[in-house]
C-alpha cells in the first residue's frame, strides 16, 4: 500500500479569527484609536484621485486654451484640497501613534501577567517556555500587529475602496488592463504567503538557537560565574559553544534569506510584467488616437495608483497574515490552562494546620521513574519536622509539593484536613513562609525585601524584631541608611551587597515577618558559619513559633531541635522518629550522623 503523506496541521486559529481577536482587545485598550483610524480611511482614499486629477487637469486646460488665471485657480484649488487632506491625515496618525505604542505595551503586560501568575511547574516545562518565547514575537518590535493593527486595517480598507473605484474607471478604458494587474498581484500574494508559512513552521529551530545564544551571553557577564571562568579557563569553552550555536543560527538565516531572495525575484518579475503590459496598452491607445493627451495623463496616473493600491493590499495582507501567525502563538500561551486552583477555594483554617501526605508519588515530565514513591505521613499542627537524606533523595521535591508549587502525580496532600487542591492557590501561598537554598534579592531596600507590600501598623517594630531574630540587626544598624539601604550596585551607587550567609539571614527575616501558619526552611543555614548557624538553631523555636514547620538540612546536628525526623532514601521515607529514637535504632540515620560527627570531633581534637 502507498503511504499517505503526513498532512500539515492546520493553525489553531484562522486569519479572520485572529484579526477579530486583536480588534476586540485593542478596542478594550483604546477605543479612540479605532475611531481615529476609521476617519483616516476616507482621507487616504481621497489623496489618490486628487493626485491623479491635478496633472491631467493642467494638461486639459493648457491644451484647451483656457486663460492663465483660470488655470491658476484650478491648480491652487486642487493643491489646497490635497494639502488639507494630507495634513489632516498626518495629524490624526501622529495623534494615534502613542496610543498604538500603548496598545503593544498592553499585550506585553498580558504576557508578563501570564508568566507571573501561571503554575510554577510550567516555568520548568520546555514546551511552555517555547510558547512564551514565540508569543513574545508579537510584541518585540514596534512594527508588529500589536502596535500596527489599526494602521494595517486602515491601509486595507483605504486601498480596497480606492481599488474598487479605480477598477470601474480603468475597466471602462480596457478590461484587459484590470485583469493583468489583478492576476499578477495575486501571484505575488501567494509567493509571499508560502514564504510566511515556511517561516512560521520552522521558526522554532532558530528560536531555540537564539535562546541558547542569549543564555551564553548572559552567563559571560554574570559576576558570580566570572570568577570560575577566569580561574578554571572556561572562556575557551564558552567561545567554542557560542561559535557552534552562532554557526547553526547563521545556517537557518541563510535558508530564510534564499527563500526571501526567490520571493523578491518573483515579485520584481511580475511587477515588471504587470507594468509593461498595462502601460503598453495605454501607449497603444494614445498612438491609435483613442485617447486625448489629458486622458492619457489621467489614466497613466490611475494605473500607477491602481498598482499602488493592489500592491498595498497584498503587502499589508501578507504582513498581517504573517503577523497573525504570531497572534496564534500569543493566544496559545493565553489559552494554556493551569492545573492548580486559581478560582474559588475553601477558607483556610485558623492556626497552625495539620499536614498529611496520603500515598503521594511524583514523577517529573519525561522522567523514567518516580522521584517520590508512595509517601505517607502525618504532621500535627504546630509540630516541627526535619527532613534529611542524601542528595537526590527527593527532599526539595517533597517541599515543593507541600508548598503547592507541584501537583502530585499520585495520592493526596491534605492541609488542615482538606485536600490542598480545594484551596485557592494564591490564598494558600499567603499562608506559607518559605526559605529556599538559592536566595534572590530584588534591587530594592533591605526593608522592602523583607516587608514587600505589607502595610502593618507596627511595621517598624516587627522589622526590628525579625532583624534581631535573624542575626542581621547589627549589620543593618551599621549601614548609613540602615534598612533603607538598597541592593544591587549595578543600579545604585550607594547600594550594598550581602554575602551568601547574610542573604540567608535576610530570607529568614522575610519568612518570620510574614508570620505564616506554615513555615518551610530548605537548607536555611547552608551558607552560615558554624557559630552563626548555632545561634539560629537556638532561636529556632522563636523563628517558627505558632506554625507547623518543615526543615530540610544536610547537617544532622541541626535536627535535634525538631520534634520528629524523616529520613528520605530513594524517594521514600526509610526511617521516622526523634533524634534520640533514631540514634537508639542504630539505622541509616544513626550511621550518617556518626560519619558527620566524626569529622567534627576530629576537627575539635586538632
Query: What Rg value do the Cα atoms of the chain yield, rounded?
Result: 35
For residues 455 and 417, the answer to whether their CB atoms sit within 8 Å is no
User: Does 378 score more than 90 pLDDT?
Assistant: yes
User: Does 236 score more than 80 pLDDT?
Assistant: no
SS3 string, 100-142, reads HHHHHHHHHHHHHHHHHHCCHHHHHCHHHHHHHHHHHCCCCCC
The pLDDT-based confidence of 223 (bands split at 50, 70, 90) is: low
Measuring CA to CA, how many Å separate 534 from each of 110, 436, 503, 547?
46, 19, 17, 21
User: Does 65 score more than 60 pLDDT?
Assistant: no
Strands (E), 444-571: 518-522, 548-552, 564-569
User: Does 167 score more than 80 pLDDT?
Assistant: no
User: Does 602 score more than 60 pLDDT?
Assistant: no
Domain ranges of the chain: 15-335, 355-439+553-605
What tens digit of pLDDT does each residue of 536-558 get? 777 777 778 789 999 888 777 77
Higher pLDDT, 113 or 530: 113
For residues 412 and 419, the answer to whether their CB atoms sit within 8 Å is yes
Predicted local distance difference test score (pLDDT) of residue 5: 45
pLDDT average, residue stretch 477-492: 85
Q: State the DSSP string of 193-225.
A: HHHHHHHHHHHHHHHHHHHHHHHHHHHHT-HHH
β-pairing, 410-415 vs 355-362, is: antiparallel
What tens digit of pLDDT does each residue of 316-354 get? 887 888 788 888 889 999 998 888 898 899 999 998 999
Fold of 355-439+553-605: Rossmann fold (3.40.50)
User: Does 3 score more than 70 pLDDT?
Assistant: no
Predicted local distance difference test score (pLDDT) of residue 277: 73
Q: Which of 261, 211, 220, 267 is nearest to 239 (CA)?
A: 220
pTM over 0.85: no
Phi, psi dihedral angles at 183 (to 5 degrees): -60, -45
Report the DSSP beta bridge partners of residue 521: 435, 551
Phi, psi dihedral angles at 453 (to 5 degrees): -95, 10
The answer for residues whose C-beta is within 8 angstroms of residue 530's C-beta and 6 or more apart is none
The pLDDT-based confidence of 491 (bands split at 50, 70, 90) is: confident
- Could you give the CA distance from residue 87 to residue 50 in angstroms, rounded to a whole number? 14
Predicted local distance difference test score (pLDDT) of residue 298: 67
What tens digit of pLDDT does each residue of 428-452 get? 999 999 888 788 788 888 888 888 7
15-335 and 355-439+553-605, same CATH topology: no
Q: How buried is 303 (Cβ within 10 angstroms: 0-12 exposed, 13-18 middle, 19+ buried)?
A: buried
Cell digits of residue 442:
530584588
For residue 497, the 8-state DSSP code is -
Helices (H) and strands (E) in the chain, counts: 19, 10
pLDDT average, residue stretch 33-39: 85
Q: Which of 150, 160, 156 is nearest to 37 (CA)?
A: 150
Predicted local distance difference test score (pLDDT) of residue 416: 93
pLDDT average, residue stretch 287-306: 68
3-state class (DSSP) for residue 396: helix
User: Does 293 score more than 70 pLDDT?
Assistant: no
pLDDT average, residue stretch 219-246: 70
Q: Which residue has the cell 577566569?
A: 230
Max mean pLDDT among 149-153, 294-298, 337-341, 497-501 falls in 337-341
Question: What is the sign, positive or negative, of the torsion defined by CA atoms of 588, 591, 597, 602?
Answer: negative
Q: Which range among 212-226, 351-365, 366-380, 487-501 shows the weakest confidence by mean pLDDT?
A: 212-226
Predicted local distance difference test score (pLDDT) of residue 601: 52
3-state class (DSSP) for residue 353: coil
What tens digit of pLDDT does each residue of 498-547 get? 888 888 889 888 888 888 999 998 887 776 776 777 677 777 777 787 89
Report the DSSP beta bridge partners of residue 549: 384, 519
The pLDDT-based confidence of 135 (bands split at 50, 70, 90) is: confident
What tens digit of pLDDT does each residue of 570-598 get? 888 999 999 889 999 999 888 888 887 76
Higher pLDDT, 269 or 445: 445
Q: State the DSSP string of 250-308.
A: HHHHHHHHHHHHHHHHHHHHHHHHHHHHHHHHHHHHHHTTSS-HHHHHHHHHHHHHHHH
Higher pLDDT, 299 or 246: 246
- Could you give the CA distance from residue 217 to residue 208 in angstroms, rounded to a whole number? 14
Report the DSSP beta bridge partners of residue 568: 389, 573
What tens digit of pLDDT does each residue of 380-419 get? 999 999 998 888 888 889 999 999 999 999 999 999 999 9
Instruction: Quote the mean pLDDT of the chain.
Output: 80
What tens digit of pLDDT does each residue of 93-104 get? 888 888 888 888
- Could you give the CA distance from residue 564 to residue 106 in angstroms, rounded to a whole number? 50
Assigned CATH for 15-335 = 1.20.1560.10
User: Does 61 score more than 80 pLDDT?
Assistant: no
Predicted local distance difference test score (pLDDT) of residue 134: 83
Measuring CA to CA, how many Å separate 404 from each of 363, 369, 419, 424, 469?
15, 21, 11, 10, 27
- Could you give the CA distance from residue 542 to residue 466 in angstroms, rounded to a whole number? 10
Question: How much of the chain exceeds pLDDT 90, in percent?
Answer: 15
- Could you give the CA distance from residue 259 to residue 531 in angstroms, rounded to a whole number? 67
CA angle 488, 493, 498 (to 5 degrees): 35
Amino acid at each position: 500500500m502507498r503511504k499517505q503523506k503526513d498532512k500539515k496541521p492546520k493553525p489553531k486559529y484562522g486569519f479572520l479569527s485572529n484579526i477579530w481577536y486583536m480588534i476586540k482587545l485593542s478596542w478594550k485598550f483604546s477605543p479612540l484609536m479605532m475611531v481615529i483610524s476609521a476617519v483616516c480611511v476616507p482621507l487616504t482614499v481621497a489623496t489618490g484621485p486628487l493626485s491623479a486629477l491635478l496633472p491631467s487637469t493642467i494638461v486639459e486646460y493648457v491644451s484647451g486654451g483656457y486663460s492663465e488665471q483660470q488655470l491658476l485657480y484650478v491648480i491652487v484649488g486642487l493643491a489646497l484640497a490635497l494639502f488639507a487632506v494630507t495634513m489632516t491625515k498626518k495629524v490624526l496618525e501622529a495623534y494615534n501613534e502613542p496610543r498604538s505604542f500603548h496598545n503593544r505595551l498592553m499585550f506585553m503586560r498580558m504576557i508578563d501577567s501570564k508568566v507571573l501568575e501561571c503554575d510554577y511547574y510550567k516555568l520548568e516545562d520546555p514546551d511552555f517556555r517555547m510558547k512564551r518565547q514565540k508569543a513574545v514575537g508579537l510584541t518585540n518590535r514596534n512594527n508588529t500587529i500589536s502596535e500596527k493593527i489599526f494602521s494595517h486595517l486602515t491601509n486595507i480598507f483605504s486601498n480596497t475602496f480606492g481599488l474598487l473605484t479605480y477598477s470601474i474607471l480603468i475597466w471602462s478604458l480596457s478590461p484587459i488592463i484590470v485583469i493583468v494587474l489583478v492576476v499578477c498581484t495575486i501571484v505575488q500574494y501567494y509567493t509571499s504567503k508560502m514564504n510566511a508559512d515556511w517561516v512560521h513552521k520552522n521558526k522554532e529551530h532558530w528560536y531555540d538557537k537564539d535562546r541558547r545564544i542569549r543564555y551564553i551571553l548572559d552567563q559571560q557577564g554574570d559576576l558570580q560565574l566570572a570568577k570560575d571562568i577566569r580561574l578554571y579557563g572556561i572562556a575557551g569553552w564558552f567561545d567554542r559553544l557560542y561559535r557552534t550555536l552562532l554557526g547553526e543560527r547563521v545556517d537557518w538565516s541563510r535558508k530564510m534569506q534564499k527563500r526571501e531572495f526567490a520571493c523578491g525575484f518573483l515579485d520584481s518579475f511580475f511587477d515588471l510584467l504587470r507594468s509593461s503590459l498595462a502601460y503598453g496598452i495605454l501607449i497603444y491607445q494614445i498612438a491609435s488616437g483613442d485617447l486625448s493627451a489629458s486622458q492619457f495623463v489621467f489614466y497613466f496616473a490611475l494605473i500607477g495608483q491602481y498598482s499602488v493600491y493592489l500592491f498595498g493590499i497584498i503587502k499589508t495582507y501578507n504582513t498581517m497574515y504573517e503577523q497573525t501567525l504570531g497572534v496564534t502563538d500569543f493566544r496559545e500561551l493565553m489559552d494554556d490552562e493551569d492545573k492548580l486552583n486559581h478560582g474559588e477555594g475553601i477558607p483556610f483554617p485558623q492556626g497552625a494546620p495539620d499536614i498529611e501526605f496520603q500515598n503521594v508519588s511524583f514523577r517529573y515530565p519525561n522522567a523514567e521513574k518516580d522521584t517520590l514513591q508512595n509517601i505517607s505521613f502525618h504532621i500535627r499542627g504546630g509540630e516541627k519536622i526535619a527532613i534529611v537524606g542524601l542528595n537526590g533523595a527527593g527532599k526539595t521535591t517533597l517541599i515543593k509539593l507541600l508548598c503547592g508549587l507541584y501537583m502530585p502525580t499520585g495520592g493526596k496532600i491534605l492541609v488542615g484536613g482538606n485536600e490542598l487542591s480545594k484551596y485557592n492557590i494564591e490564598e494558600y501561598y499567603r499562608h506559607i513562609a518559605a526559605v529556599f537554598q538559592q536566595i534572590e534579592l530584588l534591587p530594592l531596600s533591605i526593608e522592602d525585601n523583607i516587608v514587600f507590600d505589607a502595610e502593618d501598623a507596627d511595621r517598624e517594630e516587627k522589622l526590628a524584631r525579625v532583624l534581631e531574630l535573624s542575626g542581621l540587626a547589627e549589620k543593618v544598624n551599621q549601614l548609613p541608611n540602615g534598612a533603607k539601604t538598597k541592593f544591587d550596585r549595578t543600579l545604585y551607587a550607594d547600594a550594598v551587597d550581602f554575602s551568601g550567609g547574610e542573604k540567608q539571614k535576610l530570607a529568614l527575616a522575610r519568612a518570620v515577618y510574614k508570620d505564616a501558619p506554615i513555615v518551610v526552611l530548605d537548607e536555611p543555614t547552608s551558607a552560615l558559619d558554624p557559630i552563626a548557624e548555632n545561634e539560629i538553631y537556638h532561636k529556632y523555636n522563636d523563628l517558627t513559633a505558632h506554625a507547623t514547620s518543615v526543615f530540610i538540612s544536610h547537617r544532622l546536628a541541626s535536627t535535634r531541635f525538631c520534634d520528629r525526623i524523616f529520613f528520605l532514601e530513594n524517594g521514600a521515607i526509610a526511617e521516622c522518629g526523634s533524634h534520640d529514637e533514631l540514634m537508639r535504632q542504630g539505622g541509616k540515620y544513626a550511621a550518617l550522623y556518626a560519619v558527620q560527627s566524626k569529622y567534627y570531633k576530629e576537627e575539635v581534637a586538632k
